[in-house]
């Protein structure tokens, strides 16, 4: 594929898949926990990273490798590691470089599960300093000698604030720090953070990459561009010999292998199938989300948050940074928790589901579910309120979605 090749063509044809021995056009599901070796010496070489091949699916598997290679092409960079969930990917990505006493500087507008994880890390001596997204003065003032990584979401979930990735990466690199971005909500269809300076990208591939809510998984993509200081990151010292693959080599030979949060071969197969239509689904879902946001924005008593609307404080940055749309998620505030529940219960098309990125539209009340463990301050920072509804827009006919929201709102007066 050339640089001018379109998104969908490149996605479908940039990686060679299938099975040459049978002519299968899709990589088969290698549902095997272990793989036999022709000799003891070959087995030894595998365990010493001196030969390619597979020994145990917790470490590697042909179906999973096929998915990892396609994700590497999709996001860019040098290598990918597929994990059992998006949270497993985030945990592995951070702990690969952190140790007790280290600090994370993170945008405060995060998915509730990420906030919960950062709280869990405190028991291991790793603390998180939360900052307002794109507040460069606050971020600069928060950097200490203990800071080891910046973290943010490309589009906050559910605040829907847009991170200025290029500026944030430049600030991080000025201080010799890596930037890890969660690209789950935007996906590489809208933006490729590695091209804007991010060093590691995470996707919860249970969402838009998979697209059908039939598998839980996550992926870590390594840019290979960050130069790891052995004094700041002592665990990287012995892996610097791997050059641009240092971060991935350390992860594969340590935490990822030893914690066992590997992806299942069948999950990799589902993801390979699903991601072939990523571009088509995202195009339709972003278009639907924009039209639904415009409609809802015209209703009294409904406060709409969507980066595609000109009134959004992140609209101009979104126009500059997001290449093909403004995302497929919007939120609405409706005045009270009781009214939010009533609207949700009266909707006939969207399903009440704690997920995003499905072909079907999904709704949820984040304050009582995803952010149930968050403090009031954390909820406010994440844009979560008791009257908020998060809408993950699917590929249904937009006329039907609009009509459904119209009747649900009419049945749920202020």
Whether residue 21 has pLDDT greater than 90: no
The whole-number pLDDT of residue 3 equals 67
Per-residue model confidence as pLDDT tens digits over 268-319: 999 999 999 999 999 999 999 999 999 999 999 999 999 999 999 999 999 9
Whether residue 4 has pLDDT greater than 90: no
- CA dist 159 and 173 (Å) reads 26
At a CB cut-off of 8 Å and minimum separation 6, what does 49 contact? 253
Whether residue 17 has pLDDT greater than 70: yes
User: What's the whole-number mean pLDDT along residues 367-390?
Assistant: 94
Whether residue 16 has pLDDT greater than 80: no
pLDDT band at 20; cut points 50, 70, 90: confident
Q: What is the pTM of this model?
A: 0.96
Contacts made by residues 212-215, CB under 8 angstroms, sequence distance 24+:
212/270, 212/274, 212/358, 212/359, 213/353, 213/355, 213/357, 213/358, 214/270, 214/274, 215/264, 215/266, 215/267, 215/270, 215/271
Whether residue 414 has pLDDT greater than 90: no
3-class state of residue 114 by DSSP? helix
Per-residue model confidence as pLDDT tens digits over 321-377: 998 999 999 999 999 999 999 999 999 999 999 999 999 999 999 999 999 999 999
Per-residue model confidence as pLDDT tens digits over 78-114: 999 999 999 999 999 999 999 999 999 999 999 999 9
The whole-number pLDDT of residue 1 equals 61
pLDDT band at 215; cut points 50, 70, 90: very high
* Residue 149 dihedral angles phi and psi, to the nearest 5°: -160, 145
Q: CATH 3.90.1150.10: does it fit domain 280-410?
A: yes
* Residue 216 dihedral angles phi and psi, to the nearest 5°: -100, 130
Per-residue model confidence as pLDDT tens digits over 26-62: 899 999 999 999 999 999 999 988 899 999 999 999 9
CATH assignment, 7-30+61-274 = 3.40.640.10
* Residue 381 dihedral angles phi and psi, to the nearest 5°: -60, -35
User: What's the whole-number mean pLDDT along residues 186-211?
Assistant: 98
- CA dist 90 and 98 (Å) reads 12
At a CB cut-off of 8 Å and minimum separation 6, what does 257 contact? 58, 59
Sorted by where each begins, the domain ranges of the chain are: 7-30+61-274, 280-410
The whole-number pLDDT of residue 26 equals 87
């Amino acid at each position: 594929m050339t640089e001018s090749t379109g998104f969908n063509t490149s996605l479908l044809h940039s990686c060679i898949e299938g099975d040459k021995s049978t002519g299968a056009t899709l990589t088969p599901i290698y549902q095997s926990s272990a793989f036999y070796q022709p000799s003891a010496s070959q087995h030894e070489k595998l365990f010493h990273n001196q030969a390619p091949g597979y020994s145990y699916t917790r470490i590697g598997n042909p179906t999973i490798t096929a998915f990892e290679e396609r994700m590497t092409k999709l996001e860019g960079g040098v290598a990918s590691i597929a994990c059992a969930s998006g949270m497993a990917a985030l945990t592995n990505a951070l702990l690969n470089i952190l140790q007790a006493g280290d600090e994370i500087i993170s945008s405060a507008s995060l998915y509730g599960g990420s906030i919960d994880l950062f709280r869990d890390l405190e028991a291991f001596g790793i603390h998180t300093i939360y900052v307002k997204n794109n507040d460069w003065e606050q971020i600069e003032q928060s950097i200490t000698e203990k800071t080891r990584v910046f973290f943010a979401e490309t589009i906050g979930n559910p605040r829907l604030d847009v991170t200025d990735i290029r500026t944030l990466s430049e600030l991080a690199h000025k201080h010799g720090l890596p930037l890890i971005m969660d690209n789950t909500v935007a996906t590489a269809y809208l933006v490729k953070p590695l091209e804007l300076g991010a060093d590691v990208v995470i996707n919860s591939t249970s969402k838009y990459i998979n697209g059908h809510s039939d598998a839980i998984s996550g992926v870590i993509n390594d840019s290979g561009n960050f130069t790891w200081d052995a004094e700041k990151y002592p665990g990287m010292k012995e892996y610097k010999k791997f050059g641009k693959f240092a971060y991935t080599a350390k992860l594969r030979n340590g935490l990822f292998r030893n914690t066992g949060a590997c992806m299942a071969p069948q999950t990799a197969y589902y993801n390979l199938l699903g991601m072939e239509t990523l571009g088509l689904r995202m195009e339709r879902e972003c278009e639907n989300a924009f039209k639904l946001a415009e409609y809802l924005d015209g209703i009294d008593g409904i406060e709409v948050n969507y980066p595609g609307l000109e009134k959004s404080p992140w609209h101009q940055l979104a126009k500059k940074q997001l290449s093909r749309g403004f995302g497929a998620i919007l939120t609405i505030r409706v005045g009270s928790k009781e009214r939010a529940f009533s609207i949700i219960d009266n909707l006939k098309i969207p399903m009440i589901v704690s997920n995003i990125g499905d072909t079907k539209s999904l709704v949820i009340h984040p304050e009582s579910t995803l952010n149930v463990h968050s403090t009031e301050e954390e909820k406010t920072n994440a844009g979560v309120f008791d009257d908020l509804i998060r809408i993950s827009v699917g590929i249904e006919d937009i006329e039907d979605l609009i009509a459904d929201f119209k009747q649900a709102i009419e049945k749920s007066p202020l």
